[in-house]
Amino acid sequence: MKGEIAAEKDMPKTSITIYEHDRGKASELYAMEAADRFCALFSLTPPAGIVRDPGGKPFFDGGNLFLSISHSAPYIAVAISEVQVGIDIQRHKKCDQVSVARRFFHPDERDFVARNPGCFFDVWAAKESYVKYTGEGIISAFRSFSVVDGEELSDSVGAVVLSQLSFRSGYSLSLAAKNSTIIALSEEF
């Protein structure tokens, strides 16, 4: 038992904060607020600010923390972590799921969603969290990998760990992370 506690204590930590998005407030301000709380909790130095790579992926300027941001009205999800992460939140809304799956999903995912139509947004959120993790975004390679394993969502894509998280009915929330991580989910409304 003692070894399990020590191992958990040494696991990297990730904080996911869901905000009700005030359209007048930039997503970077939510991210800095979440980073300040994370740093205060673990006695870390807060990052100086946020910069974006040429593809638009946000990074903290300085420090050893990682960041990912996702929007789905009226919410914004901010993940702050000690390891590289990608987060995606998806509101379940009407769309032509068959056409979207045909255009963006791997054949295994298309088959999975055909058998489990209620899982369409879970698959989408898992895929998008993964490409946010890699920094590639939604490109043609979006179909080149699968987030399903037989009859269920996979818990990884290669070495990247996928976690499906409960938020609210009508929403899917997924985190992609470099390693298994202790996840704390909170809402700020």
Sequential pLDDT tens for the chain (189 residues): 333 434 466 789 999 999 998 877 889 999 999 999 999 988 899 999 999 988 888 999 987 899 999 999 999 999 999 999 999 999 999 999 999 999 999 999 999 999 998 999 999 999 999 999 998 877 768 889 999 999 999 999 999 999 999 999 999 999 999 989 999 999 987
- C-alpha 12/C-alpha 178 separation (Å) is 10
- pTM recorded for the entire structure: 0.91
- Contacts of 115-119 with CB under 8 Å at 24 or more apart are 115/151, 119/153
Q: Burial level of 20, CB count in 10 A (0-12/13-18/19+)?
A: exposed
Report whether 83 contacts 181 (CB < 8 A): yes
- Counting every residue written for the chain, the total comes to 189
First to last CA, the chain: 38
Beta-bridge partners for 91: 171
CATH code of residue 16: 3.90.470.20
Q: What angle do CA 95, 126, 135 make, to 5 degrees?
A: 105
DSSP label at 24?
T
* Number of domains forming the structure of the chain: 1
Domain containing 16 equals 2-188
How many CB atoms lie under 10 A from the CB of residue 48? 11
